Amino acid sequence: MKLETILLIPFKDLATAKQRLASALTQAQRSQLAEAMLRDVMTAAAGVRGRLDVALVTGDARAQHLARDFGFTVIEDGLNESETAAIEMATAWSEQRGYNTTVVIPGDIPLITSDELHRVLDAAPAAGAVFVPAYDRRGSNCILRRPASLIPLRFGNESFLPHCEAMRKTRRELVILEMPGIGLDIDNPHELELLLQRDGDTHAQRLLREWRASNSAYPRTVIPSDETIRSADG
């Protein structure tokens, strides 16, 4: 049976991922973390696959390979301009294939769960939208639209209120849900600490804990060992 809903995950590239974390992590670490978070998001998405199709929107070869490992569709983003442009293209792709509902989530919300995605789908109005804002209510971390292109999406640090205003103009129903997993996106160094403080055992959390336990330059200001301190004092 053809599903009418598709989950779209935009993802730029691993090689230059998460530049805003540069004060805390090296580029190699940022790439590792981005892949771990994407794997967490895909794991949650796999748990609702019976209710929707899943597509990764990216031009990154490694990310495409990971999506195919999960059995997800890849929508090729050859331009790699922005998350906004990628979702505009992917929304048109979805409509051309008969999907009447789109759900958009980023690839950097590692605490997302399948249960939260089920709740988003359960809350969907017959015609309207479901929004899950970021924990600071600035960004939009999950958007369900029915019909699929009900409003244009514009992503960034201050996207939530503009999306709400766009929905107001449609006069369609808007459901806003607060969710702890979807709500935490990892863009800034202090959010690494928030992720470490939360309960859970995601790929991203395990990676950060391994770095901290091994003292492997996370954060980038290396904490000296006791032996190093004794040597310096001597």
Lowest mean pLDDT segment, chosen from 123-127, 152-156, 221-225: 221-225
The token pair at 81 is 């301009």
Quick check: 159 and 113 in contact, CB under 8 A?
no
Return the pLDDT at 78: 81
Tokens of 11: 């993802």
Residues 48-97: pLDDT tens digits? 999 999 999 999 999 999 999 999 999 999 877 788 999 999 999 999 99
* Average pLDDT of every residue of the chain: 90
Tokens at 48, concatenated: 């609702």
How distant is the alpha carbon of residue 97 from its chain centre? 24
pLDDT bin (cut points 50, 70, 90) of residue 232 is very low
The predicted structure's pLDDT at residue 155: 85
At residue 219, the 3 state secondary structure works out as: coil
